[in-house]
Structure 1
C-alpha cells in the first residue's frame, strides 16, 4: 500500500530544497519539481502557516497582476552545528540562509570521555548564551561525528582512533541538557552538504568530497542529495584495504594525517610534530618530504579513482588537514587518476575552499532541514 504521508513529505522536501536556494514563484516550483500546481500550493500554505515562508510581491514588467515570489524568513529557524573531532570540538549557530551568527571551538589534549563531554558542553553552553543575547531561539542541534554511528538511536559507536569515546548516547545526553531536537550525522557527509550549500559545488548535482585527517572518508552527493547507502556507511574510503609488507591494512592506518606525521618524524626529522612541519619542509625543497607526500597523494588518488569508477562522478573536492601539503600532494593525486582512469574522461579534482568550520556549518544547515521536515510530518 502506498503511504500517502510519505509521498506528501517527500513532495514537501522537494519544494523545500528549491525554496532554500532562491526566491521562486509557485509556478516555477511546480515546473522544477514536476508537481501539480495544486500540490505545490498546499505545500506552500503549510510553510507559510509554519512561519517559515512569506510572499514577496513585485511589479511585473508586463500588464496585469504583480508577480509573487516566495522567500524564506531568515530568522524563522536557527540551528547549532557541532563537529566532534579527535582533538577538538567546534560549533556554530546559523539562521536559515546560513549566516554565521556565533561560533566556538575548543581543543583538548586528553581524549577521555569526561574531557570530551566537558568540551562539548562548554561549546554548546557558549553558543546557547550567545543565542540568548541575540534573542534567538535554538530549534535544533546536529552533531557531525566520525563513523560508525547509529543515527536512529543517536549513538556514536566506535570510531577508529577514538578509543575512549565509544557507545556514547550523544543525542540523549544533549536533549536532556538543552531540551531541543538533536540529530547525529557523519562528519564528512556534513562537509559535503556544506560544500553543496555554501561552497563551489552550489551548481553541481553530483560530486564527492574527500576528507583526509586522522581518518579518511568521503561524502557523496548524487542528484543533488546526500547518498548514505543502506547501512549509512557509504564513502568510508579510509577502510579501503591496501596490501603492504605482506598484510592487508586500512588506507587511513597507512596514510591518515597522524600516520604521515609519525613517519616523517621517524624517517626525516625527530623535530616534526605536525602536518604543518611537513609543509615547511616542502617549502624548503626537502626531497624526503616530497617523496613521502607524493606517495601519500598516490595512495589517496588510487582510493578516489576507485570511487570514481564505482560512482561515475567526475567532480571531486579534497579537504581536511591534508590541504596544507598543497600543490605537490594534489598533483600526485591528479597524476594517479589521469594515468589510470578507465574512460579517460575529464575529472575535476581540487581542494575545497570551505572553511575549517565546514562540518559545523553543514551540520547546522542540516539541522534546519531536519527540523522543518519534522514540523511538516507533524502537521500531517
Structure 2
C-alpha cells in the first residue's frame, strides 16, 4: 500500500480500496498503522465532486532517509535521498582501501560525512544499500566472487559493514542495481524483459525478466566475467579470480591491447575511446 501511495500521490481511502482490491476496513487499518509510523500524512481533502469531501493521504518523504553506497575498486560513491527518491546529496572519492577493514572504515566515514553535508543526523538514516562487485549469498550472509575488492569476499565482512553503519543494510551486486535503476528511471521503463550490459573496470550484466530482477539460483546469473574465452581453460582456478572475459574486455584489458598497439601513454580505457 505504501508503494501505491508513493506512486499515485494524494489518494483517498476509497480510491486505495478501489484500485488495490483491498476492503475498506483493511485499508483503514493499514493507513492507521502507516500514519502511526509517520510514513504517510494527511494531504488535504478531495474537491470539485458531489457529496462530502474525503481525506487525502500522501507519502511523508522525510519520515526517513536512505543511503546508497557504490563500492568499487578505484572509487567509492555515496548518495542520500528521502523516501520519495529525491537525492539531496552525493559524494565521490578515490578508494584508499588496502584491506576489508580499511574499506569498511572508509565507507562509514563517507556515508556519515554525506549525511552531515545534507544536514541530516545519521540516526535519521533508516536504510542503506551497498552495491559492489560480487554476489551476495543470503544463506551464508556473505559476499562471494568480489576478487577486485581487498578482503571483500568471505565470512565476517557483511556483519562488519552492518556494525559500521548501524542501520538496516542490504547488499546487492552493483550491475544488478544499475539494471534496477534503468528499469525505474531509464530506457528500461515499461520494458518487461531486458539485459543491462556493463563494461568498465569489470564486466557484468543485470537481467530483468517479466519485470523482475533475475539473479539465478545462486545469485550469479549476471557474472559473465567468468565466461571462458578462446584458449582459456575453464577449469583453471586462476580464471575464477580473474574472469577470462573481464580480463580481455574490461578496462585493464583495453589498456593492455592499446599498449601492444603502440598507443602512447598515459593510457586509460577512457582515453582509448575518446
Q: Supply the distance in 2 between the matched residues of 1:73 and 1:234 (Cα, whole angstroms).
A: 36
- Which residue of the partner structure matches residue 137 of structure 2? 150
Structure 2 residue 16 is matched with structure 1 residue 22: no
TM-score (norm 2): 0.81
Are 2:100 and 2:157, in contact at CA under 8 Å, matched by a contact in 1? no
Q: Supply the distance in 2 between the matched residues of 1:203 and 1:53 (Cα, whole angstroms).
A: 27
Evaluate the alpha carbon distance shift between residue 275 and residue 192 of structure 1 in structure 2; reply closer, same or farther with a 3 A threshold: same
Q: SS in structure 2 opposite 1:159?
A: coil
Q: Supply the distance in 2 between the matched residues of 1:104 and 1:245 (Cα, whole angstroms).
A: 42
Number of positions where the alignment pairs a residue of Structure 1 with one of Structure 2: 264
Structure 1 residue 114: Cα displacement: 4.7
Are 1:154 and 1:170, in contact at CA under 8 Å, matched by a contact in 2? no
Q: Supply the distance in 2 between the matched residues of 1:200 and 1:70 (Cα, whole angstroms).
A: 31
Evaluate the alpha carbon distance shift between residue 54 and residue 118 of structure 1 in structure 2; reply closer, same or farther with a 3 A threshold: closer
Structure 2 residue 237 is matched with structure 1 residue 251: no
Q: Supply the distance in 2 between the matched residues of 1:43 and 1:79 (Cα, whole angstroms).
A: 23
- Which residue of the partner structure matches residue 44 of structure 1? 31
Are 2:46 and 2:56, in contact at CA under 8 Å, matched by a contact in 1? no
Q: SS in structure 2 opposite 1:139?
A: strand
TM-score (norm 1): 0.61
Q: Supply the distance in 2 between the matched residues of 1:32 and 1:272 (Cα, whole angstroms).
A: 59
Are 2:193 and 2:211, in contact at CA under 8 Å, matched by a contact in 1? yes
Q: Could you give the per-residue CA deviations for residues 88-138 of structure 1, whole angstroms, max 9, x where no partner exists?
A: 11111111112222222221366443543343233123124335x345711
Structure 2 residue 91 is matched with structure 1 residue 104: yes
Structure 2 residue 202 is matched with structure 1 residue 215: yes
Q: How does 1:162-241 map to 2 (within 5 A)?
A: 162=149, 164-167=151-154, 169-241=156-228
Evaluate the alpha carbon distance shift between residue 128 and residue 110 of structure 1 in structure 2; reply closer, same or farther with a 3 A threshold: closer
Residue from 61, 64, 86 that aligns with 1:74:
61
Structure 1 residue 69: Cα displacement: 3.6
Looking at secondary structure, tell me which structure has more helix per residue.
1
Q: Which has the higher contact order (CA 8 A, sep 6+)?
A: 1
**Comparing 202-211 and 65-74, the one that deviates more:** 202-211
- Which residue of the partner structure matches residue 264 of structure 1? 258
Q: SS in structure 1 opposite 2:188?
A: helix
Are 2:143 and 2:158, in contact at CA under 8 Å, matched by a contact in 1? no
Are 1:86 and 1:111, in contact at CA under 8 Å, matched by a contact in 2? no
Structure 2 residue 134 is matched with structure 1 residue 140: no
Evaluate the alpha carbon distance shift between residue 149 and residue 270 of structure 1 in structure 2; reply closer, same or farther with a 3 A threshold: farther
- Which residue of the partner structure matches residue 276 of structure 1? 270
Q: SS in structure 2 opposite 1:20?
A: helix
Structure 1 residue 51: Cα displacement: 0.8
Structure 1 residue 156: Cα displacement: 2.5
Are 2:68 and 2:128, in contact at CA under 8 Å, matched by a contact in 1? yes
- Which residue of the partner structure matches residue 237 of structure 2? none
Unaligned runs of 5+ in 2: 235-242
Are 2:179 and 2:207, in contact at CA under 8 Å, matched by a contact in 1? yes
